Each structure stands twice: as C-alpha cells, then as structure tokens.
Chain A
Amino acid sequence: MQILPIFAALRRHKLVMWLLILEIALTCAIVCNSMFLIAQNLQRMHMPSGIAEHELVQIQMAYIGTRPDSGARTQADLAALRQIPGVTQVALVDKLPFGSGNNSNIKLKPDQPQPSMNAGLYFGENLLPTFGVKLIAGRSFAPEEFVTLDQALQGINDNSPNDLPHVAIVTQAMAQRLWPVQNALGKTFYIGKDIPLRVVGVLARLTRPNTLQAGPAFSFVVPISENLSDGGGSYVVRSKPQDRARVLRDAVAKLKAIDPNRVVLAHRTYDEARAAFFQADQSMAGTLVGVCVVLLVVTALGIGGLASFWVAQRRKQIGIRRAIGATRGDILRYFQTENFLIVSFGIAIGMLLAFVLNAVLMKFYELPHLPLYYLPIGALALWGLGQLAVLGPALRAAAVPPVVATRSV
C-alpha cells in the first residue's frame, strides 16, 4: 500500500481534512477526560469500608429527649434485638462509614499550634465486633474503659479527666501517618481540648464517615457508649447476608413493640445506606457516559459523512484505478488507510488537548493528573471508531465497477 498517493489526494482536501482532525482531536480530549472522571467516581464508589458490609442493617432512631431511663431503655432494646433469630451482634453507634458524622483534629503534643491530621471519630459499645473490623495489633476495649457520652461531655465541661476516655483504637493508615516508623501501640495523641488518648489497638481498615478527601482510611474509635438520649444514633444489627431482610423487618417490629410511640427515622441494609451516600457520584458517572456516547456517535457520523462524500466525488477516479488493475481490496484499503492517517493525526493533537483540559480541570475541580495509560486506550477507541465509520463508504467505493472510467459522467 502506498501512502504517498493518499497524501497527494488529501492535499487537495486540506480544509475538510483539518476539520475532521480538529473534530477527532476535541473528541479525544473530552472522551479521555470524561473516562478519567468516570473512573475516579467508580473508584470512590467502590472504596472499601473495612466493615462487614453485607451482614449489617441500620435502624436510625429519633432523638427521644433527655430521660433518666434512656440508658436502661437502650439496654432493653439491645437485649431484644439480640434475641431475634440469626442476629450475631448488635450495637448502638452514632455513625457508620459513608454517612454523616464528626471528625477530629489530631495533635501529637498538647499545645501544638497546627493539628497533625484530621480523622473520623467512632464510638459506641460493642462497635468493633458488630462492624466486623479486623484488629491487627493490640487489644480491644475492656468494659471498664467505657464512659457514657453524657459523662464524657460533662468531663469536657468540668475539665475532669476521670470522666473522659483514656484509650483509643486507631486504623493502620492513621497509625502510619502519625508514627511512620515506630509501633503505634502505647503512643499517645491528643484531641479537642488536649484530651490525651493512648493507642491500645490497631485496625486493618475502618473508613471514616465522610470528608473522604482528607484521607478515607483515617479514623479511630474511643470507648464511649451511646444511649437513645444522645440523638441520631443507629442500631446496627449483624446477621448472615441472606437473613438481613427478615432481621430488619423483625427488628423494626420489635422496637415498635417495646415503645409504640418511638420514631424510626430510617431502616435499611448497609448496602442501601452505602448506595445512597454515593448517589451523586453515580449520577455524575451516568451523565458522563451519556456525553461520551453522544460524542462518539457524532464523530462517527462526521467521519462516515465525509468519507461517503469523498467516495461519491472520486467515483470516476476509483473507476479508472479499477480499470487499470487495482483490486477491490486495494480500493477498500485505500480509504481505510486514509482514515487511519487522519484519525492518527487527530489523536496526536487530541492527546495534547487532553492534557490541557486536564490541567484546567485540575485547577478548578481538584482532580489528579490524567494517568498516561488513558491515552493508548483513547487512541485505540478512536481508531476503532474511525475504521467502523469508514467501512460502509469504503465498501461502496470498492463496489464501483471499472466500467465507470469509460463513461463520461
């Protein structure tokens, strides 16, 4: 296949060729960046939480007001939930990964002006076994280490260290961030008004409730127990995945039976809670997929349209080539090669544009760099698209009979 005649022919259609190249370049730039954004969203949506996601259901309770018996009510609820067949663990927690919740600034020294890091704060009795998080070093909390939330708040108000928790369990990621080379066990860090917490255990992974951009795996657990008067807490019930639907139904019924006047704000499996948290990411990904499809279709239409125009315009020349010995395959390959050259040129410019667009997006939307491997993927996609779009017109060109050459228009 000789390429030079193709260039010679293209030189006579500079204008249309450049428009085609520009179109392919812009498509390449936008599709590469959109694919990158989609991949980013998917990555976020599939972030591990570190908990036994498929075994948990969440029942969020309304604030019941300050009542003297709220601790006892909580214990009664927990005991009732534990009796549901199939339930293995139960806890009242104030937050779960991928929801709403608090974050704390962490300091390594009491009067450090700037915090060392920021991490998600979890508490609730029996939280670790219910969540099913893996302890990879140290120990779990001892029962006597727990204080109630009321007690802890009072402790902060009165500055009385005895009412405050003294220990914490941190995630591996947080331990490595605070003490990169040393063993975290036994070390102390400070939160809030310089409250010291000694690390007694390290977790494999526990994703923070939110503010994922500040490091998703940074979180810690403190021995504070919740009760219904603390507001917004959720009962988390663990069972086998196949039992979840029944357990959820029974649990809500049981809670209503204990106190018909209470208000359940939300009840769902953890999978549903997680999906709700990532809804915005999902819809963004959906929109971008739609945009990519539209772009690729339009570009294919453009390539196909111009190719069929060129075929019609060169009908006579094709006939002459056929008459002097070119095979159908030669004609087919001529148009395919021409398309390949134009698309390649478009891709080359498109890659530069893709990086420019990425730089702009990085500036305004806090995105990371476009990884290099998107470029060959984008190039392959466009080459494929170009060949597909040109196939019809090229086959029509190949079908031009040699006798055309002998006819005058």
Chain B
Amino acid sequence: MRRQLCDALVARAQRPDLVFLTGDLGFGALEPLRDVLGARFINAGIAEQNMVTVAAAMASDGLEPWTYTIAPFCYARAFEQIRNDVCLHGLPVRMLANGGGYGYGVMGATHHALEDYGILSTLPNLHIFVPAFDEDVAATVAAAGAIAGPAYIRLGRGEMPAGEVAPAYAPWRRLRGGTGPVIVAVGPMAGVAWAALAAEDVLQDADLWAVSELPLSLCPPPDAFIEAVRASRRLCVIEEHVAQGGLGHSLAAWCLERGLPVEGFRTLNAAGYPSGTYGSQGFHRRESGLDAPAIRSAALALAAA
C-alpha cells in the first residue's frame, strides 16, 4: 500500500498545513512526497518517541502532522507519547504504521504488529484504520484526515482476489451476501477470506464483511450486520492480531450486550510463533491458522452448526 499512500499524500500535500514526519523510513517509496513537501517533509531520525510528541505539538499549533514508521516502532515504542501527548490532548495526529500483522514476514518478531489495535483501542478517542485493499488507501487518508482527533492507520498488503472488485470504501463493508455464517475479517484478511470462500460449495452462502475502522465504540457495525447476525446466529471473526484485545472479543461482547442470539462463534487470530521459526507473512498466517484452508475449515464448521 506504500505506493498508494504516497500518491494520496502527494495529492493532499497541496494543503499548506500538512507536515509529514518519518522515522527514517520511506527509501524507495516516499521520494515523490519528500520532493513535493520540501521543508514540510521531516526525517525525524530513529527517534520515534520524539517524533510522535513533536507531531502532537505541531497539531496543537494548527498544523496537520502525519507520522510514518514501522508499526511497532510507533504503537509500542512511543506508546506513552501516543497516550499522553496525542490522546490525552485529543490532538489530530495521524500515525501511519507500516507492516500490520506479520507484514514484515521473515524480518522477524520485532517488526511484527500483532497487538497494535488492541492496545490502542484502550486509549480515548483514537480512531484506528485498517484498509483492506490497495484501492482503500486514498479513501483511508481522506477519512483519517477528516476526523478531528487522533488516528492510527495500520497499513498492510492489499490482497484483492483475482476477478473481484471491492465495493467502495466504508468502515464496514459487505463483500458478499448470503444466509450462511457471518464472516467478519479485519483489513487485508478480508481479501484472504474472500479468496478462501470463493469455491463453488456450501461456503458460497457465507455472508462476508470487511472491517476497516475500529474500535466499535467509535465505529459500530451497521444495522445490516446486526440483521445478518440475528438471522444467521453464527459468527466468525478473522484478524491478523492476537485474540486478546482483538475485534473478535470486542464484537462478542458487543453482541452480548445487545442480546444478539449468537449460537456459534469462532475467532481466528495471530498465534505468535508456535514453532519458534520465522518465514514470510504467508508462513506465519499458516502457522496461526489464518490461511485459506483454516478459514474454510472454520467456516464449514460454523455452517454445519
């Protein structure tokens, strides 16, 4: 999504208040943005805590700062800065986090972001974006830029199944309707699930949703989703994020609080590093049970329930 991000920000750079701060990332990708922004493109160095707080101060002073680094160097390294300087003050800092989930693959665990939106969902008024497809990035930048408070944007790799066209960007999107189990996938896992459920079999009847904005308190599901759950009574949540703090748990609580009659419930989550070995993003998804066979298996079990 980096190319799409660069294009979207280059277009937005016409806004005189936009400032872009990078934690020394962007080589081979963000040069066009650097060229168009000039002094407003700031390489803040390998110092993410300072970068986030500098951005907070700039936001307090009327600028529109966007920060950019690898996801864990933002939400984990600079958590206190996000909490105190950005969120406690409600400042519109947009934090771009590259490599959501296992996006950095064999680069290893230090570069993965498996608990980011769970942790950040605990902070006040922090709006989280997880675009699902490359085509979502421009709309995500526009949406994050339009809100009055802070935003965290988890970027990954769009995985649109061949031959499919996603509906226009929305926080909650129905990718495919059906009367079978309701399948909810966060961000790029929606594309993985879409491909997994493409076979001409019983799973053609699954009702597939892509979620791109969190937490539920800021971005609740639409009525059509509630109706679908009420009718299906079976729900599966797929996310490249650990179970604790993930959408699955929060959505289960959300359904319970509203008396939705969920009788069959599954979550598919990031499992960490069960074998103690490392590989591509696909390797880690397979180990976690987030690949197509595992998704089909979970959906079939729910369909049979």
Chains A and B are bound partners: no
